[in-house]
Amino acid sequence: MRALVITATAAAVLSGLMVPVVCAQGMRQPPSSTREPPFALDDPTVVADGAKRFSASCTGYCHGSEGRVSRAPKLRGNTYDPAFLYSRIADGYPIGPKGPMPAFKTMLSPEVIWKIVAYVMSLSSAPDQ
């Protein structure tokens, strides 16, 4: 492996190309499943599955029923970028106005996180009553 990296680097330098070579294990690209949803986020089945997961993980103490205001910020009536939501759910948020949000990437698969994102996205048009 090391010889291959050295050879690739030498070839790049000799040919005048500046090709970055990353061989450290911790520097890999995240799987595509974490960068883009594997299904349409407006699919009613996906949204319904996300709603079930949301109610199991995010209501009560944090976001309240149906994303209404509770201990954590309300989710209804807001517009979000799907990648932002995915990152916030997966990685959490260590410092928030009402406390930290836990990271769920070790508890939920990327597919499940995307389903929750789909549900939260569906709340953008829901009035906050």
Domain region containing 5: 1-30
25, 53: one domain = no
Q: Which CATH number characterizes residue 85's domain?
A: 1.10.760.10
Cβ atoms within 10 Å, residue 17: 8
Closest alpha carbon to 85 in 61, 53, 117 = 117
Each residue's pLDDT tens digit, 5-54? 343 334 333 334 333 333 334 344 445 456 789 999 999 999 999 999 99
Phi, psi of 80 (to 5 degrees): -130, 155
Q: What pLDDT digit, counting tens, does each position of 97-116 carry? A: 666 888 999 999 999 999 99
Asked if residue 95 has pLDDT above 70, the reply is yes
Spatial separation of the C-alpha atoms in residues 54 and 117, rounded to whole Å: 9
Same domain? For 5 and 42 the reply is no
CA–CA gap between residue 41 and residue 116 (Å, rounded): 9
Q: Determine the Cα–Cα distance for residues 120 and 78; give it in Å rounded to an integer.
A: 9
| Backbone φ, ψ for residue 93 (5° rounding) | -150, 110
Report the predicted TM-score, pTM, of the whole model to 2 decimal places: 0.68
Query: Is there a single domain that holds both residue 77 and residue 116?
Result: yes
Q: Do 105 and 121 belong together in one domain?
A: yes
Overall number of domains in the chain: 2
Specify whether 44 is located in the same domain as 91.
yes
- Report CA torsion sign: 121, 49, 36, 60: positive
CA angle 30, 32, 33 (to 5 degrees): 100
Both 44 and 104 in one domain: the answer is yes
Q: Is the pLDDT of residue 78 over 70?
A: yes
Q: Given this model, what pLDDT does residue 105 score?
A: 93
The reply to whether 114 and 84 lie within a common domain is yes
Residue among 113, 94, 118, 122 nearest 31 (CA): 113
Rounded average pLDDT over 73-84: 88
